[in-house]
Chain A
Amino acid sequence: MACFLVPAAEAVVTTIVTRTVKKKEKELEAKLSEGTEVKSAEAPRIKLSEKLNWLNIMLWGGSLLLMLEHIWHGEVVPWFPFLTAASSAEETSAMLHEMATVGVCMALLVTAVWAGMVFAANAIVKRQAEPAEQDDKEYAV
């Protein structure tokens, strides 16, 4: 009925968070560029804004394609109130129930998969950085 609105709402929030994080990262980079030695000593890592961007794409993309499905089934219309289920109190109640169950589960699953992706990406980057550190130790010995 309108389950895609829940992940779409989450997408709005995560997009705002991403923009704020990106802004802070740029400020931090500008500060670090003054002291380049500190920056070069840091291990390589994926920016938080980049990771959040993965979630944004999944949420926006998924919501968009699901909106197509709802238009296809006549549940979303181009005139007010845009959702056919909003025309009567009974249908509105069913719609809200669907949003609270299916919609929330959709948002949770996408976020959980994203969290798994972030965990895996961090582990891969860490694994890539470790041999280099070991090599350095070997040379030091």
Chain B
Amino acid sequence: MTLLITVFAAVISTALWYVKAPDSKMRLGTLSLMYWGASLMWLVDAVFEFVELKSEFFEPAPADMLNDAFLGLSAVALGLVVWIGIVLIKDPKNVIRGILVKK
């Protein structure tokens, strides 16, 4: 579930990056690469788990699925927080710099 949610986040952010490219200054590429990196790592985790559990891997308990879904959403939220932090620090549109200079 965590892998699925992260893959969806990676695909959506990549599609948004593609739509806005090449003029976008919002660093959507950074966000999508972060999600792809995590997705690939969780994919490896899932493969190892599948090798260990075999068919049981596809029959998780509802409580485990819910917990994994919460984890996936939290991971997506953390990625968004890091991304917005990078955007604000780098200030690609000079918005913050402009506000501070005005003051």
List A residues at the B interface (Cβ < 8 Å).
3-4, 7, 54, 57-66, 68-69, 72, 101-102, 105-106, 109-110, 113
Please name the residue on chain B nearest to A4 by beta carbon: B41
List B residues at the A interface (Cβ < 8 Å).
2, 6, 30, 33-45, 47-48, 71, 74-75, 78-79, 82
Among the interface residues B30, B35, B36, which one has the most CB atoms of the partner chain A within 10 A? Answer: B36
Interface of B: prevailing SS: helix
Show 26 residue pairs from A and B whose CB-CB distance is below 8 angstroms, ordered by the A residue: A4-B41, A57-B30, A57-B33, A58-B36, A58-B37, A59-B37, A60-B34, A61-B35, A61-B82, A62-B41, A63-B41, A64-B34, A65-B35, A65-B38, A65-B78, A65-B79, A66-B38, A66-B41, A68-B78, A72-B71, A105-B48, A109-B43, A109-B44, A110-B40, A110-B41, A113-B40
| Interchain pairs with CB closer than 8 A, number | 80
**A-B residue pairs, 9 tightest by C-beta:** A61-B34, A62-B37, A58-B37, A65-B38, A57-B33, A62-B38, A106-B41, A62-B41, A65-B75
